[in-house]
């Protein structure tokens, strides 16, 4: 492979396992911190064999909101110049809109919590009407459960609406809160149209809408707390274990991945305490994978991801 793979990112600490896995392959790659990047739309594209989009929707919570706007413009530029992008512009559009995710789930016939969208604080109360309480209000562009608020009745929503953070696109979802049957959620990870593994994450029932399964921040020494958008004490309470996901949910997740143009990522669902049925509530195009995966799920997903990237880059060079 003569041309490097470009890794586009905005959070250095999250990338260390992937960088180490790519180092182990010996393949050339380039670390591209998007907050310091600029481009000329009329100039030639960089000489990359492949680009990997690792820009997180939660970047605005780390003072990197410009990375979202930049990636929105830069990914189509790369694609237009013939550079393949892992989790490209279509996947990124899905990643940056929980409303669009719900529309995809509805189109695919996959069960999800009912929700209404609001793009003005004054309309949040109206958006809550007709939904079953309790409800969760969350930014359309989120990340790791940040800025979610739970409300038990319409008066609580009315009292707090003016103070709610609408996120970088000025839109929130008001969504029915579904209590998990056992206080847990399941995250199913996939790569290149295939199932990787599933993990079950359990937390205090009062906090189970605010789980962050990408638990790289939980292990002492893995990352600094200020790199995480969820407070450290809440994250330290999580219990994470390997899980054998039912085939129907694996099939649903892979259907989501295909229709959402997702090369890699994770889909989260829970089993409702009220009806015993699974509900998908989040689609993630960015995955940091689970910490200590070799112990937990029996292999290193970063190594598999790196091998996939190298194989895809080499295949692309052969075609070109």
Domain residue ranges in the chain: 5-94+304-319, 115-176, 179-300
Which residues face 212 on adjacent strands?
Answer: none
pLDDT of residue 48: 97
What is the spatial distance between Cα 210 and Cα 148, in angstroms, rounded to a whole number? 7
pLDDT tens-place values along the chain, 320 residues long: 689 999 999 998 889 999 999 999 999 999 999 988 888 888 889 999 999 999 998 888 887 778 899 999 999 999 999 999 999 999 999 999 999 999 999 999 999 999 999 999 999 999 999 999 999 999 998 765 667 899 999 999 999 999 998 988 899 999 999 999 999 999 999 999 999 999 999 876 555 444 444 444 444 333 333 334 344 344 445 788 999 999 999 999 999 999 999 999 999 999 999 999 999 999 998 888 888 889 999 999 999 999 999 999 999 767 65
For residue 9, give both structure tokens: 């990112």
The confidence score (pLDDT) of residue 204 equals 64
Which superfamily, per CATH, for 179-300?
ATP-grasp fold, B domain (3.30.470.20)
Domain 5-94+304-319 architecture: 3-Layer(aba) Sandwich (3.40)
Helix and strand counts by DSSP (H, E) for the chain = 10, 13
Instruction: Tally the residues of the chain.
Output: 320
Mean pLDDT across the chain, nearest whole number? 88
Q: Kindly report the pTM of this predicted structure.
A: 0.89
In the chain, beta strands by DSSP E: 5-9, 29-33, 50-54, 85-86, 115-118, 135-139, 149-151, 172-176, 184-191, 194-202, 239-242, 264-271, 278-284
Rounded CA-CA distance 279/301 in Å is 25
> How far separated are the first and last CA of the chain, in Å rounded?
12
pLDDT at 168: 87
What CATH class is the domain 115-176?
alpha beta
Grouping H, G, I as helix, E, B as strand and the rest as coil, residue 194 is strand
Tokens in use for 178?
Answer: 């579904």
């Amino acid at each position: 492979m003569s041309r490097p793979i470009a890794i586009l990112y905005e959070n250095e600490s999250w990338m260390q396992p992937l960088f180490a896995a790519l180092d182990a392959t010996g393949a050339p790659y380039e670390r591209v911190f998007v907050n310091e990047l600029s481009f000329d739309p009329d100039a030639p594209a960089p000489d990359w064999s492949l680009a990997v989009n690792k820009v997180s929707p939660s970047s605005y919570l780390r003072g990197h909101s410009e990375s979202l706007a930049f990636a929105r413009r830069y990914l189509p530029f790369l694609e237009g110049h013939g550079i393949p992008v892992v989790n490209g512009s279509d996947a990124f559009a899905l990643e940056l809109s929980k409303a669009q995710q719900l529309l995809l789930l509805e189109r695919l016939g996959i069960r999800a919590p009912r929700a209404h969208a609001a793009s003005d604080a004054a309309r949040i109360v109206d958006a809550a009407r007709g939904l079953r309480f309790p409800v969760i209000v969350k930014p359309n562009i989120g990340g790791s459960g940040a800025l979610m608020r739970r409300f038990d009745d319409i008066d609580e929503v009315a009292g707090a609406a003016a103070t709610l953070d609408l996120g970088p696109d000025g839109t929130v979802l008001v969504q029915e809160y579904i209590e998990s049957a056992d206080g847990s959620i399941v995250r199913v990870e996939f790569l290149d149209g295939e199932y990787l593994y599933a993990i079950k994450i359990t937390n205090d029932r009062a906090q189970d809408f605010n789980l962050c399964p990408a638990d790289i921040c939980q292990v002492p020494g893995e990352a600094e707390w200020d790199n995480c958008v969820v407070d450290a004490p809440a994250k330290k309470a999580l219990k994470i274990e390997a899980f054998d996901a039912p085939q129907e949910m694996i099939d649903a997740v892979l259907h989501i991945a295909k229709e959402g143009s997702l090369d890699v990522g994770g889909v989260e669902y829970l089993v409702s305490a009220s009806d015993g049925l699974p509900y998908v509530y989040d689609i993630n195009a960015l995955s940091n994978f689970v910490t200590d995966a070799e112990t937990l799920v029996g292999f290193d997903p970063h190594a598999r991801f790196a091998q996939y990237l190298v194989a895809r880059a080499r295949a692309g060079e052969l075609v070109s």
